Chains A and B, each alone.
Chain A
Amino acid sequence: MTIYIALIPAIPLLGFLVLALFGSKLPRKAVGYIGAGSVGIVAMLTIIAGIGFIKSLPQVRSYSVVLWEWINAGNLKADISFSLDALSLVFCFVITFVGFLIHVYSIEFMAKDDGFSRFFAYMNLFVGSMLILVLANNILLMYLGWEGVGLCSYLLIGFWYKEPANGYAARKAFIITRIGDTAMIIGIFILFLNFGTFNINELMQQASGKWVAGSSIAVLTAALLLGGALGKSAQLPLQTWLPDAMAGPSPVSALIHAATMVTAGVYLIARTHVLFSLAPVVQAAIAIIGALTLLIAGFSALAQHDLKRILAYSTISQIGYMFLALGVGAWSAAIFHFMIHAFFKALLFLAAGVVILVLKEEHDIFKMGGLRKKMPVVFMTFLIGAASLSALPLITAGFFSKDQILWYSLSSETGNTVLWIAGITGAFLTALYSFRMIFITFFGEAKTQPSFLPGKVMTIPLIILAVLSVFGGFIELPRSIGNIHLFSNLVDNTLPATVVRESGHSEILFQSLSAIIALAGIYLAYLIYFKRPALSESFNHSRLNKFFEKGWGFDRVYDVLFVKPVVWLSEIDKDDVFDWLNIGISKLALLANRLLSFLQNGKLRWYLMSFTIGIVLILTYLIFK
């Protein structure tokens, strides 16, 4: 078992090394095999390890392996060590399995790109770092993975580096997430200095033993860690980087900016849930941030023209749901939605990637249209993805995962009606913008003709993900319908079960409500984007629409508050004010030199006069003293 755990992060990193060192000399085919193959092997290893893990439940709930002692400075000790439990198993499965499908897809998607081997090298480095992040059993090693995925995100957003705008988007992503990470590392300092260890389990045990719930230190530490999570997961107020991150190739958006890396914040909070339980204020803040984010991003998604930007805002919004779930203590619901979201959002991004590719880099949905008949496979899979995203009742996985969150946002111990209303409004928006995409992109008249049709290497991953987006939900069904709890039973080995308040709300009633809301959203989309497009026309040109499209003006505010001052500050003192110290000294010396050389000018009458004045002055002094 332990050998698998050690191999899981190691193999993609090995793939990265091979590709980084020899990638440019290898034939493309070999690069593809190494790049996708390494992730495929790891996906298999994960499944083997997962089966072993589930078999040994409930006796053994986590496996650990120490590879080597990393740091030993004074009493600061940290190992390179991994551990596998139910939570990391779910994440590993999604990272490797979805990751593998995306890698396979990329072989065709990137086939004509000059940076083919560079692409796969970065992607393998990403998968390796992400696996380190979720398998690390100390928080410092987790931070290593955390920054590693940030680096890969930067490299892959700016993958097409010749375009300066891509470089800008990449730096924006890196710097904004780094701001969150800096808060997080200070939180890590506090944890270490109080408990003398980096081991996550020990930290959590000691925290629950030594810290009083609601004490200021617990609140402070939880808030600092939350800073890191907000940055990585693009939640309010650090969400602005994600829409711009769409500058990267579509498989990158699918893997990093939808399925895995952006959910690292969810993982962090779930992993350190003990700490957050000690800080109820922070946990409540998580719920509120999640609710606000899902609404704000939902409105923005509704106003976008760029297909990938719609999906980006949708991702922010869906992670908002996960944060909402974390905030109300519905741990397993958050993780379940993470998994299902990874399936359908990766599917949507990959399908969108195909659309954009065959339309020769056309991103604007209003210039697409009529693709339904031209590309039936892409249409069908995209439709399934959008249906799952909109939580189409009963038949899609998205319904079951989102419904769970909505239900707990009302019925859990810390849930309330306001959160539920936010969630249900978001659900309506989701259905609306998802089917806006469908109707505008795939129906109506064709405005741009596809230049070629996608091959099997791209469509097969789409089909597999579509299957998962439908059937993935059936492993966890609510009590009212089916009552299957395979997923939460597994995750509850690591995370505490959700505490539900006795409220007398009828679960089935609220489920029906959310089902109706989703259907209503879809119907409205049908009405205003297909049946009577004139209805949406006036809104399209309104100021409000512009405001939503620009992401509620956050970028502009940050520009004025932070970017401009920093640039100004660096501009005003480019030449280093302290250099005047030297210039001043040398000027002074020159001045003194000039003064003295002026006195010694070789003119006799000058000297005589100076003598006379001097004598007069001295005499005056002596007489009148």
Chain B
Amino acid sequence: MILVYLIAILLTGAFLAWIAGIWSPLWSRIISIVSLSIDLILILTIVSQPVLPGNKWIVDINLEWIPQFGISMHLALDGLSLLLLILTFFLGIISVIISWKEINSKVGFFHFNLLLILAGIIGVFLSLDLFLFYFFWELMLVPMYFLIGIWGHENRTAASNKFFLYTQASGLLMFISILALYFVHGHSTGSYTFDYIQLLGTKMSKSTGLIIMSGFLAAFLVKLPVVPLHNWLPDAHTEAPTAGSLILAALLLKTGAYGLLRFIVPLFPSAAVTFAPIGMLLGVIGILYGAKLAFAQTDFKRLVAYTSVSHMGFVILGVFSFNEIAYQGVVMQMIAHGISTGALFILVGQLYERIHTRDLNRMGGLWEKAPVMGAMGLIFSMASLGLPGLGNFIAELLILIGAFKASILMSCLACLGLIAATIYSLRIVQKVFLGNKNYDWDINDLNVREKIVTALLVIVIVGLGLFPKPVFNIARPALLKTLDEQREKSFQDQGISKNENPEKNISFFQISKLYFKH
């Protein structure tokens, strides 16, 4: 039942925060923090429990909802969702804290929306019923629309419309695919159900698989986002309030990545393999194109938004590499990117509160007045360029090695992204904190509240970089299961036994041949 409580607490908190906000904004904030903290503590108690080996689901609960249509309230938690839940609650608390001064109008409604989005996100991370999953998928959408549309910057209306249309349209495609899968499965087995576990073994022809998968892919690739479906992202990120950008970048994008791992790979094992070369190529394009655009931006927030496109390219590259190293890297990238890009958005927000501009050409030389802020910008720019010792390095290293096993060419092209990331990250530091003062801003350095948030984020990103083992250990059973299922089924589909090709191990002869052929 703990999983239901997690969602229920957030929903209750959301309504309470709204009501309390009518009388006192402060109480609205406190209620939000308290409900998120309770959830965080609950989830941490699960981490401390010993896990039975071989059991993929740590917690599993299946309640009846609409049995006539085979719809149930099936929630389950494995290592992957556990990590993402911790991330969600942690960043949820942070996003309330950073909105303390920034959000002053309709405070109650703001926190209502905030908690509702977070409830939707954890619902997505927990659902094992496709109907329920779709429900939560849409639940994230509407409050986010309000968050951008009401508390955003100048062009908020256009941005929120764009965000809504993109995600809604792609979500509908996914819904059609869910229904298609429901009928295909019902047709062949006689039991009509939306349950993920039962749908796992659905037999379908190759073309059917590809068609149904493409609906899911549409939704996940738009969320991730993948070039050329990424255009909602820079607008939405730029116009959203800081908390909105934080949640968008750090959590909402991760639902796309999570969808790939949880649904695409296990439900469509052989179709996913067919799609893999295109997927990897899309990843590489995203990495390089996102970095290129990031370098060209003069709006600080837009720059950070485009770095997300680049970093999420690594995720899709890893997902379609189909091996454990790459998958551990993907999970690490989801977490590390959440922290590091989130931190950069927070930095943009802090700057905006002080100088009321996001234009890089009006900044410069701010280190003198705000060295702590400068150090924060430096650390997270370094995280962004993948400096060893910080979490992002581990993530990108593992993804690149994993991808190298699958495709040497793609991995080497993706490595160029490391150089591109250096160029745009150093540009951030230079333009904002170093060099000439383009404008004589009289700003204060971080206050205590901001310093605490920053310190927390720095500790986490360094911790991930030097002690990433717990993350790997928690994620391992879930990832191995996913990979095993994928491998087993895709081999079944192709009529070869599992043992024939246990893993694509590349000998050096192959490497040299491949290398010199190109």
Contact = CB atoms under 8 A, between A and B. Distances in A.
Query: Is chain A's interface secondary structure helix, strand, loop, or mixed overall?
Result: helix
A76 B411 CA distance: 17
A216 B472 contact: no
B209 interface: no
B86 to A, nearest CB: 19
B230 A578 contact: yes
Contact of B404 (A80, A193, A210, A216): A193
A74 B365 contact: no
B365 A162 contact: yes
Contact of B293 (A144, A193, A194, A573): A573
B389 A175 contact: no
Nearest to B430: A167
Interface in A196-233: 210-211, 215-217, 220
B231 A581 contact: yes
B434 A158 contact: yes
Contacts of B230: 578
A576 B231 contact: yes
Interface string B360-373: 00000101100100
Contacts of B435: 161-164, 167
A384 to B, nearest CB: 38
A71 B231 contact: no
Interface in B436-471: 436, 466-469
A143 interface: yes
A285 B516 CA distance: 20
Contact of A178 (B324, B418, B433, B516): B418
Task: Give the interface size bracket for A toward B.
Answer: 35 or more
Contacts of B472: 71-73
Given A71-B472, A189-B404, A161 B388 contact: no
B115 to A, nearest CB: 31
Interface string A134-150: 00000010011001100
Interface in B377-428: 378, 382, 387-389, 394, 397-398, 400-401, 404-405, 411-412, 415-416, 418-419, 422-423, 426-427
A189 B400 contact: yes
A74 B332 CA distance: 13
A151 interface: yes
Given A573-B292, A581-B231, A68 B467 contact: yes
A182 B398 contact: no
Interface in B89-125: none
A268 interface: no
A175 B469 CA distance: 30
Contact of B512 (A140, A155, A215, A579): A215
A73 B415 contact: no
A581 B415 contact: no
A178 B419 contact: yes
B23 interface: no
Nearest to B416: A182
A588 to B, nearest CB: 14
A571 B516 CA distance: 35
Chain B interface mostly helix, strand, loop or mixed?
helix
Contacts of B434: 158, 161-162, 164, 167
Interface stretch (B44-52, B489-497, B503-511): B503-511
B340 to A, nearest CB: 15
A185 interface: yes
A73 B324 contact: yes
A178 B400 CA distance: 16
A582 interface: yes
Contact of A582 (B162, B388, B397): B162
A511 B412 CA distance: 47
Nearest to B465: A144
Given A73-B329, A185-B415, A194-B508, A582 B231 contact: yes
Contacts of A185: 397, 400, 415, 418
B412 A186 contact: yes
Given A569-B292, A581-B231, A582-B231, A193 B430 contact: no
A193 B292 CA distance: 30
A400 B473 CA distance: 55
Contacts of B436: 162, 164
A2 B156 CA distance: 60
A373 to B, nearest CB: 41
A594 interface: no
Contacts of A69: 469
Contacts of B468: 70-71
Nearest to A572: B296
A73 B398 contact: yes
A192 interface: yes
Of the candidates A69, A215, A216, the one having the most CB atoms from chain B within 10 angstroms of its own CB is A216
A39 to B, nearest CB: 20
B419 A190 contact: no
A117 to B, nearest CB: 10
A300 to B, nearest CB: 26
B328 interface: yes
A66 B516 CA distance: 39
Contacts of B516: 216
B451 to A, nearest CB: 11
A72 B292 CA distance: 33
B328 A74 contact: yes
A113 B418 CA distance: 35
A140 B398 CA distance: 12
A171 B426 contact: yes
Contact of A190 (B295, B397, B430, B511): B511
B296 A574 contact: yes
Nearest to B332: A73
A179 interface: yes
A79 B175 CA distance: 46
Contacts of A216: 512, 515-516
Nearest to A163: B435
Contacts of B201: none
B144 interface: no
B125 to A, nearest CB: 21
A311 to B, nearest CB: 25
A536 interface: no
B67 interface: no
A480 interface: no
A170 B325 CA distance: 34
B419 A175 contact: yes
Contacts of B371: 24, 118
Nearest to A69: B469
B324 A189 contact: no
B227 interface: yes
Given A20-B375, A76-B401, 19 more contacts: A73-B324, A73-B325, A75-B325, A158-B434, A161-B435, A164-B436, A167-B430, A170-B426, A175-B426, A178-B419, A179-B419, A185-B400, A186-B412, A189-B404, A210-B508, A570-B293, A571-B296, A573-B296, A576-B293
Q: 3 tightest CB-CB pairs across the interface, nearest first?
A: A74-B324, A73-B328, A144-B388
Interface of B: 162, 227-228, 230-231, 234, 292-293, 295-297, 323-325, 328-329, 365, 367-368, 371, 375, 378, 382, 387-389, 394, 397-398, 400-401, 404-405, 411-412, 415-416, 418-419, 422-423, 426-427, 430, 433-436, 466-469, 472-473, 506-509, 511-512, 515-516
6 contacts: A72-B469, A73-B328, A186-B412, A220-B511, A220-B515, A576-B231
